[in-house]
Structure 1
Amino acid sequence: MSLHELTAAQQLKALRAKEIGSRELTEHYLARIERRAGLGAFVTINENALDEATRADERLAGGDRAALLGLPLGIKDLAATAGIRTTFGSAALAEFVPREDSWTAGLLRRAGAVVLGKTNTSEFGATCYTENDVTPSPAVTPYAPTRYSSGSSGGAATAVAAGLLPVAHASDGAGSIRTPAATCHLVGMKPSRGLVSPAPATSFLLASTEGPMARTVEDAALLLDVMASPAPGDLYGWRNDGSFSAALDLQRPLRVAMWTDTGTGEAVDPQAELAVRRTAEVLTGLGHEVREIPLPARWDEPVSRAVLAWFAYQVGAVARLMVPPERTHLLRPYSRHLLAVNEKLSAADVVMAQALLARYASTFLAAVDDYDVVLTPTTNGPPVPIGYYTGDEADLMLKWSCHTPWANLAGVPAISLPSHVDGDGLPHGVHLVGRARRDAELLALAAQLESAPLWDELHPPSWHQ
């Protein structure tokens, strides 16, 4: 068995038993990354990775049992990493090297993880595909390298699915962990608001959060155990009672609400429908109650305008803070479009957009108040071809990724699990949304589905190369 075939949990166990070394693991993954550069998984490779691995081996030899000690992983290029180039997916910041880690990157490093590099992302995380002017290639799904691995955590998903990393850090503002997980046959978890701190950033309408990208539920829980440590002063910060990875046994049957309606007027993709129906059958067989209900709220014009305003405001704030005026010409067309929208927004426009989106989210919460979990497709269709997003990108992106944003706005936990690979070899995912701060219960349900089994561990061709 090759080293990358071991799960992250198995690798950590082998490291602690001194059956393998961190430097050995790191060399293995770096060689694979070099061979599969065309997949577009990485922006930057950490030139000090082997030195970090050597130090991890020394600590392991001394009996150190830090949670992730010696385990290689990647950090998404939207998170600052001290001494490692962080571009935010933008050519305007192509040479930026932070002096300090973001809060979560620091947690992962202090837990002993060996950072192999920065995984690819879209510019400022603004699109659900990962293509930028920093890397020569977009991030593609290893199952079909002519198709995007979604975004904005596309590089993280590509890397884990292709066996270039055992597990990866990712982030999600409207589906950016979950849709890449679906395109790459992976587990992608968006935690509840406040469980993983966004520090140093903060916001009253906090939609984005960081979370794990993994092959297994156990691996996702192990990474979340480290990430779930709120920064001092976090407005929404809270701590889970105990370890996620130690609580993967579901204790009771759950009530599950289900829908497939896109809310955009688009027809439901047949494979998206299949993903939900087959999962519902498995859940019913496991003793859960599944009931189909109407979609609580639609993507009408006011909601769509509010989403555009909110994204434009966020990208505008980051661009004004990070990008010198003389370098704004290096931004991609969609980012410049968002900046143009932002320039026309008044303070009242931003406040009204937030209020409308809060009402939209509360409509969902009220509709599912009697349920423990919601079941939907992750995406409305398979991974899309490179070059698909031209013209009205916002409209095209929403039609494909319509099922995920409400969970961000509501602040509730959500996870994408593999469903099946279709006759064309394309992966499809299924989306489970839990109740606020019941992240442990959602992970336990995911682990139960994994054991059922809901999906087969079917690797792409690049896994074996």
Structure 2
Amino acid sequence: MTEPHELSAAEQLRALRSGEISSLELTRHYLTRIGELDGALGAFVTVTPELAIGEAARADRLLARGDRSPLLGLPLGIKDLNATAGIRTTSGSAALDDHVPAQDAWTVGLLRRAGAVVVGKTNVPEFGVTCFTENNVTGRPAVTPYDPSRYSSGSSGGAATAVAAGMLPVAHGSDGAGSGRTPAATCHLVAVKPSRGLVSLAPVTSFFSPGIETPIARTVPDAALLLDVMAQPWPGDLHGWHPGQSFADTIRRSPSGGLRIAMWTETGMDGIDPHPEAVRAAERAANLLRELGHDVQEIPIPARYTEPVRRAIVLWFEVRTAAMVPALVPPGRQDLLMPYTRYLLAAGRTRSGTDVELGQAALAQYASTFLDALAGFDVALTPTTNGPAVPIGHYLSDGVEQVPDRMLAWSCHTPWANFTGAPAVALPSHQDSGGLPVGVQLVGRPRHDGPLLALAAQLERAGLWADAHPPCWHQ
């Protein structure tokens, strides 16, 4: 007998609308799985059973009246970096462990108004500053269900863990330098990083905004379903735009004609070679794309992580932390911050306006080099990560000063898409000999999210990856 979590999100919504299952039944099913599995996996910071049961009961009443809101009755987790009215939002920090916002963030409000049933807040690193999910709020890291001794990456690690383990059908995440795509890669999932401005970060506004909120799902259609709700820009968004189309409809059509696709597997870092499994993932995707009629050309990586670029990336995190922490954390509670956060905070306080301006210029030049080199291509293909998930403790094994370089060596393929503002989608590829997932990344032209998702859906239909699940899936 098929269990509810074995259905795709789209199938669950159809079952809700036909009356085959109620939102109460579905929500209780997921809450039970969270209770049974999450202690070992670290997917959630906060679980809200009473709220979820109330929202599910309301959804059932609306469904009975014929309401067809896009996500009505579907359980959902919200990343704990994003404000949720009436639900604890810690940003992964013990210094904010009792913070309960009065209002939803913009995208959270869209998801809730679309009828999603919020079952809890998913686990994040403190203020989202690392590509591994560990904090002092939960006391346990978010791990990949395929091997609980390894991180599920970050900062959307909890979201990916929850979807992969069957604790959520889909999840809300975000991606600042790959932090939605790299967790998807460790968990055999799909994650979409939209073009800059398609999904609003309100109430946050910035002239330079590499981060954006993302859907995390098991299939491309499920990710498109969530993205259609999220892609409604806040009216005051400086970069906001609307696609004028439904992504769920777009992906039903294969790309017209053969696309020109650039591919590379180089890391861009001196002394860091491509991991064999990362190369294998990119080559598998390239071969399938050629079979589908696309022109795939291997090219040198357009820009490397020179020392000025590497320093600029670290500077961005330092300055962001130095601006954010004092605004959120009272001085008397800053001793509760994690060592790496304190390291970034101290460094950020020493940076000058000139440092920031020069760092922004270096990142702009880095991004422009990619856009220029890819002007003759429709899509770029790379691995998502430089190898499978890494063991717990990997990044801090040489102290906080080495964390940035250790993170970049593994997540080197994703940041450039954030700095260019281009859309990107992470897709599963295969599992290595130890059963660990490995993924690939497609990056499209800025504001060409629809064609990119159509290509991703074409690869899914063509069998780029097998339908695989971790052992806990069957519990």
TM tier, smaller:
over 0.9
The CA deviation at 1:252 is 2.7
Q: Which residue of 2 aligns with 1:274?
A: 280
Distance 1:240 1:329 in 2: 45
Question: Of residues 405, 411, 421 in structure 2, which corresponds to 1:395?
Answer: 405
Query: Is residue 2:350 matched to residue 1:347?
Result: no
Partner of 1:256, secondary structure, is: strand
Question: Of residues 404, 420, 429 in structure 2, which corresponds to 1:419?
Answer: 429
TM-score, length-scaled by structure 2: 0.97
What amino acid sits opposite 2:325 in the alignment?
Answer: A
What amino acid sits opposite 2:413 in the alignment?
Answer: H
The CA deviation at 1:149 is 0.1
What amino acid sits opposite 1:40 in the alignment?
Answer: G
Q: Which residue of 2 aligns with 1:144?
A: 147
Q: Which residue of 2 aligns with 1:263?
A: 268
Question: Of residues 413, 427, 445 in structure 2, which corresponds to 1:435?
Answer: 445
Q: Which residue of 1 aligns with 2:364?
A: 358
Distance 1:44 1:53 in 2: 18
Query: Is residue 2:34 matched to residue 1:33?
Result: yes
Distance 1:301 1:320 in 2: 29
Question: Of residues 42, 45, 52 in structure 1, which corresponds to 2:44?
Answer: 42
Distance 2:373 2:125 in 1: 33
Question: Of residues 410, 416, 420 in structure 2, which corresponds to 1:406?
Answer: 416
The CA deviation at 1:136 is 2.5
**1:41-64 per-position Cα deviation (integer Å, ceiling 9, x unaligned):** 000011311000000000000111
Q: Which residue of 2 aligns with 1:447?
A: 457
What amino acid sits opposite 1:13 in the alignment?
Answer: R
What amino acid sits opposite 1:320 in the alignment?
Answer: P
Query: Is residue 2:24 matched to residue 1:23?
Result: yes
Which runs of at least 4 in structure 1 moved beyond 4 Å after TM superposition?
A: none
Query: Is residue 2:66 matched to residue 1:63?
Result: yes
Partner of 1:381, secondary structure, is: coil
**1:254-301 per-position Cα deviation (integer Å, ceiling 9, x unaligned):** 100000000112011000000001110000000000001111111111
Partner of 2:248, secondary structure, is: coil
What amino acid sits opposite 1:281 in the alignment?
Answer: N
TM-score, length-scaled by structure 1: 0.99
Distance 2:333 2:61 in 1: 44
What amino acid sits opposite 1:358 in the alignment?
Answer: A
**1:324-381 per-position Cα deviation (integer Å, ceiling 9, x unaligned):** 0111111111101110111111112112111110110000000010000000010001
The CA deviation at 1:243 is 0.3
Q: Which residue of 1 aligns with 2:374?
A: 368
Q: Which residue of 1 aligns with 2:331?
A: 325
Distance 2:334 2:375 in 1: 45
Q: Which residue of 2 aligns with 1:240?
A: 243
Distance 1:429 1:333 in 2: 31
**1:91-122 per-position Cα deviation (integer Å, ceiling 9, x unaligned):** 01011000000000000000000000000001
Q: Which residue of 2 aligns with 1:296?
A: 302
Distance 2:79 2:20 in 1: 29
Identify the range of structure 1 (250-259 vs 103-112) with the bigger mean alpha-carbon deviation: 250-259
Distance 1:419 1:316 in 2: 38
Distance 1:225 1:405 in 2: 24
Count of residue pairs the alignment pairs up: 465
Within-5 A mapping of 1:69-108: 69-108=72-111
Q: Which residue of 2 aligns with 1:11?
A: 12
Distance 1:152 1:252 in 2: 37
Distance 2:380 2:425 in 1: 11
What amino acid sits opposite 1:455 in the alignment?
Answer: W
Distance 1:417 1:233 in 2: 32
RMSD: 0.6
Question: Of residues 158, 176, 182 in structure 2, which corresponds to 1:179?
Answer: 182
5+ residue gaps, structure 1: none
Query: Is residue 2:57 matched to residue 1:54?
Result: yes
Partner of 1:245, secondary structure, is: helix
The CA deviation at 1:389 is 1.1
Query: Is residue 2:117 matched to residue 1:114?
Result: yes
Query: Is residue 2:255 matched to residue 1:254?
Result: no
Q: Which residue of 1 aligns with 2:311?
A: 305
Q: Which residue of 1 aligns with 2:227?
A: 224
What amino acid sits opposite 1:362 in the alignment?
Answer: S
Partner of 1:246, secondary structure, is: helix
Query: Is residue 2:197 matched to residue 1:191?
Result: no
The CA deviation at 1:318 is 1.3
